[in-house]
């Protein structure tokens, strides 16, 4: 029984499957599977990898979760939270890089776990990745709804509060019913994925440049609007804060910073795109750490400056009330007099950027389950391809319903923190896995080797674990409940339908 739980898919087999063109666990990664290529040219240098990393990192988190961290967790010390989150990502990123250079196919935590810790852990990771991709898409859809309503306000229109908020949210006696705009954007982008629509490289690059420009503009133009009183005290005294929904968080002090780090960690999701490019890197042993650490350093510096300006521009109370939604645009409108044009520009640009992020997350989720379906861990319907569009359309439809329910009826803070804790948990297993595979298979060639192992991987586990600890018991309970549901599915279906299990049964 125990042996069956921890059966592994060998690295040699992963490489053979890739060469044969078979879609296996490696297809879980959105970056490489979308290309459909198996033989890749080594064309990327360190600057290209840094650029790739910046494009993958700057997304919805910085424009939404920063305000939540300021309001509920840390106040102005959110800047320190970004440093903690960046350090945790750096340790995990180095571990991702060794895996990606050692298994030169599109890397993912699911693949790495299957090769190192066995099928049971791989299932847990694959199930956990639903929190990163599907729940992440729901989080960004809720943020999209906030900014979309602000855009409508520019032309004199407004969606009533109850139709753009969950039933668990209330404002001035008005209760939310469901978030219709969030469901709409999920439906639209799911339909695009079924049709097989992909962003062009030009559009994607323009979106990346736009997101980066927004961050820089807010920093440069907003610096002179910082009110020193809003940064006093910089680290608030340790206390608690209860949200309008009745959830209590540790606020201020060390626990507040750790909790905020877990919240803003959402802003770093996507950096592992660098590690997946190992197969296309000219000199992975040299360029991988430059790409990962370089992009993380650049983004962490920008995030620290951005959060310093945002938290100095408006008081904490602002982010707990009227500034809780579309926070960046709201702060510019209220506290940067004469810059209404910047608020409108930021709103429209962020809306476009969010659409891109949702599309990628939905694509990634369908590809994760597409891979798991080929391994027999989830039903075949998740790998059924549309006869005309050649896309996993049933999977896209299922996950539209799933993400739509979360986006319609659950507050953004809750789904955002579920995404963060799920991704942190995956990072911890990757840090553990790289040490295991180093001991078990030291013979496999590696384009990049994590320095000072197991120190780096251990520090990765500690820092990511500290952020999970800081997110509090309510999030631990949500993660545990999600994993328990996954265990029911594994023992009720995946364990007996697994491709490796069937092969073992056939050969016995």
Query: Looking at the predicted structure, is the pLDDT value of residue 89 above 70?
Result: yes
Percentage with pLDDT > 70 across the chain: 88
Contact predicate 378/494, CB 8 Å: yes
Tokens, residue 88:
């945790």
pLDDT score, position 331? 94
Q: What angle do CA 275, 278, 281 make, to 5 degrees?
A: 125
147: domain CATH number is 1.20.1740.10
What is the extent of the structural domain holding 108?
2-507
Which is more confidently placed, 442 or 77?
77
Q: Averaged over 459-468, what is the pLDDT?
A: 96
Q: Hey, how many other C-beta atoms are within 10 angstroms of the C-beta on 435?
A: 20
Give the residue among 398, 402, 415 at the shortest CA–CA distance from 479: 415
Q: Averaged over 323-331, what is the pLDDT?
A: 88
pLDDT score, position 20? 53
pLDDT tens digit string along 330-377? 999 999 999 989 999 888 888 888 887 888 788 878 878 887 888 889
pLDDT score, position 277? 66
pLDDT, mean over the chain: 84
pLDDT score, position 203? 65
Query: Looking at the predicted structure, is the pLDDT value of residue 101 above 80?
Result: no
pLDDT score, position 37? 38
**What is the Cα 209 distance to its own chain's centre?**
20
If phi > 0 it is left, if psi is from -120 to 50 it is alpha, else beta; for residue 449 that is beta
Range among 47-51, 94-98, 106-110 with highest mean pLDDT value: 94-98
Which is more confidently placed, 279 or 275?
275
pLDDT tens digit string along 30-55? 333 333 333 446 677 888 888 877 87
Percentage with pLDDT > 90 across the chain: 39
H or E element, residue 250: strand 248-251
Query: Looking at the predicted structure, is the pLDDT value of residue 167 above 80?
Result: yes
Query: Looking at the predicted structure, is the pLDDT value of residue 314 above 70?
Result: yes
pLDDT score, position 35? 38
Phi, psi of 241 (to 5 degrees): -135, 130
pLDDT score, position 38? 38
pLDDT score, position 15? 64
Tokens, residue 162:
């109850």
Instruction: Report how many domains make up the chain.
Output: 1
- Contact partners, residue 328, CB within 8 Å, separation at least 6: 63, 67, 214, 218, 310, 346, 350
What is the Cα–Cα distance from 145 to 161, expressed in whole angstroms?
A: 11
Q: CB under 8 Å, gap of 24 or more: what pairs does 150-155 form?
A: 150/325, 150/326, 150/329, 150/330, 150/347, 151/347, 151/348, 151/351, 154/344, 154/347
Range among 116-130, 155-169, 224-238, 279-293 with highest mean pLDDT value: 224-238
Q: Averaged over 487-505, what is the pLDDT?
A: 87
Lowest mean pLDDT among 59-68, 374-383, 472-481: 59-68
Lowest mean pLDDT among 7-11, 104-108, 387-391: 104-108
Which is more confidently placed, 2 or 106?
2
């Amino acid at each position: 029984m125990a042996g069956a739980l921890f059966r592994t898919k060998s690295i040699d087999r992963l490489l053979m499957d890739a060469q044969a063109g078979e879609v296996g666990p490696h297809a879980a990664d959105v970056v490489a599977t979308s290309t459909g290529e198996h033989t890749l040219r080594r064309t990327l240098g360190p600057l290209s990898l840094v650029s790739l990393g910046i494009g993958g990192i700057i997304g919805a988190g910085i424009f939404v979760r920063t305000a939540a961290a300021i309001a509920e967790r840390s106040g102005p010390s959110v800047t320190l939270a970004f440093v903690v989150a960046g350090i945790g990502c750096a340790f995990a990123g180095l571990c991702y890089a060794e895996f990606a250079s050692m298994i030169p196919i599109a890397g993912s935590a699911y693949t790495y776990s299957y090769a190192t810790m066995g099928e049971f852990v791989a299932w847990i990771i694959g199930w956990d990745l639903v929190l990163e991709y599907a729940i992440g898409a729901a989080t960004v859809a809720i943020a999209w709804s906030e900014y979309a309503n602000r855009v409508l306000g520019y032309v004199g229109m407004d969606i009533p509060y109850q139709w753009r908020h969950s039933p668990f949210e209330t404002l001035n006696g008005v209760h939310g019913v469901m978030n219709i705009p969030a469901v709409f954007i999920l439906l639209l982008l799911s339909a695009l994925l079924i049709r097989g629509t992909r962003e062009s490289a030009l559009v994607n690059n323009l979106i990346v440049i736009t997101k980066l420009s927004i961050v820089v503009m807010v920093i440069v133009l907003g610096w002179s609007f910082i009110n020193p009183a809003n940064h006093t005290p910089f680290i608030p005294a340790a206390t608690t804060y209860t949200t309008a929904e009745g959830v209590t968080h540790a606020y201020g002090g060390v626990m507040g910073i750790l909790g905020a780090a877990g919240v803003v960690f959402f802003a770093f999701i996507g950096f592992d795109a660098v590690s997946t490019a190992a197969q296309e890197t000219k000199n992975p042993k040299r360029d991988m750490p430059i790409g990962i650490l370089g992009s993380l350093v650049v983004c962490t510096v920008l995030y620290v400056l951005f959060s310093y300006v945002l938290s100095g521009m408006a008081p904490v109370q602002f982010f707990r009330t009227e500034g809780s939604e579309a926070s960046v645009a709201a702060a510019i409108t209220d506290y940067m007099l004469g810059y209404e044009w910047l608020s409108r520009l930021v709103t429209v640009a962020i809306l476009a950027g969010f659409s891109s992020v949702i599309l990628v997350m939905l694509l990634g989720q369908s590809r994760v389950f597409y891979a798991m379906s080929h391994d027999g861990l989830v039903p075949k319907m998740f790998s059924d391809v549309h006869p005309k569009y050649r896309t996993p359309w049933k999977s896209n439809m299922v996950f539209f319903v799933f993400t739509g329910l979360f986006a319609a009826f659950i507050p953004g803070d809750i789904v955002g923190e579920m995404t963060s804790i799920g991704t942190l948990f995956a990072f911890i297993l990757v840090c553990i896995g790289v040490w295991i595979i180093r001991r078990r298979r030291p013979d496999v060639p590696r384009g990049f080797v994590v320095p000072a192992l197991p120190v780096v991987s251990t520090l990765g586990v500690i820092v990511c674990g500290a952020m999970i600890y800081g997110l509090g018991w309510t999030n631990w309970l949500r993660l545990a409940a999600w994993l328990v549901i996954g265990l029911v599915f594994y023992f009720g279906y995946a364990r007996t339908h697994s491709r490796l299990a069937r092969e073992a049964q056939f050969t016995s």
